[in-house]
């Protein structure tokens, strides 16, 4: 599967567009982030254009989609897939791979997996309002019938 506009819209709404590198909100430092939440190769003081931000987002979402396609063993609808792509992009492939959410999902426990979105709202042991809002968007999308 490939991410639809819904996946991109969740990421864009959650991340916002920043054309100058900024420190991770959870740590106040690295990794630096730019565009729509991209961290690959980002350094302090870096700037990009809107087109570069869009290209980075496509690359990042392609990587997230590859991880979801590789790690999820149950059949998903497009909304579930899109929500998981947004989550995997945000928490990283290693965290997604080791998550209880993925374990429950692959056991066929979709309701249990949906509840797990609410656990991913911390960065550096701090509950962040932006992550709470993002997880609500993702969970709502995950639970929305196609």
Q: Write the CATH number for 49.
A: 1.10.530.40
Would you say residue 127 lies in a domain? Answer: yes
- pLDDT tens digit string along 79-127? 999 999 999 999 999 999 999 999 999 999 999 999 999 999 998 888 9
- pLDDT tens digit string along 27-70? 677 889 999 999 999 999 999 999 999 999 999 999 999 999 99
- pLDDT tens digit string along 71-80? 999 999 999 9
Residue 44 has a CB neighbour count (10 Å cut-off) of 11
pLDDT (0 to 100) of residue 126: 87
Q: How many distinct structural domains can be found in the chain?
A: 1
pLDDT (0 to 100) of residue 26: 67
Would you say residue 67 lies in a domain? Answer: yes
pLDDT (0 to 100) of residue 49: 98
Would you say residue 145 lies in a domain? Answer: no
pLDDT (0 to 100) of residue 54: 97
pLDDT (0 to 100) of residue 18: 97
**Residues tagged active-site:** 15, 24
Q: Which domain holds residue 77?
A: 5-140
- pLDDT tens digit string along 7-32? 999 999 999 999 999 997 766 778 89
Can you tell me the distance from the alpha carbon of 11 to that of 3, in angstroms, rounded to the nearest whole number? 11
pLDDT (0 to 100) of residue 124: 80
pLDDT (0 to 100) of residue 25: 72
For residue 29, which phi and psi values (nearest 5 degrees)? -145, -135
pLDDT (0 to 100) of residue 29: 75
Would you say residue 92 lies in a domain? Answer: yes
Contact (Cβ atoms closer than 8 angstroms) between residue 11 and residue 17 = no
Can you tell me the distance from the alpha carbon of 93 to that of 72, in angstroms, rounded to the nearest whole number? 12
């Amino acid at each position: 599967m490939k991410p639809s506009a819904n996946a991109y819209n969740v990421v864009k709404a959650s991340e916002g567009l920043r054309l100058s590198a900024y420190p991770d909100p959870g740590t106040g430092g690295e990794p630096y982030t730019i565009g729509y939440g991209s961290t690959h190769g980002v350094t302090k003081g870096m700037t990009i254009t809107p087109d570069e931000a869009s290209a980075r987002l496509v690359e990042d979402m392609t990587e997230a989609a590859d991880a979801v396609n590789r790690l999820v063993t149950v059949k998903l609808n497009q909304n579930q897939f899109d929500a998981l792509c947004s989550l995997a992009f945000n928490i990283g492939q290693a965290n997604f791979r080791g998550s209880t959410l993925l374990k429950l999902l692959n056991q066929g426990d979709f309701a249990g997996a949906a509840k797990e979105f609410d656990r991913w709202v911390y960065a550096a042991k701090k509950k962040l309002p932006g992550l709470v809002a993002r997880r609500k968007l993702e969970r709502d999308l995950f639970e929305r019938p196609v």
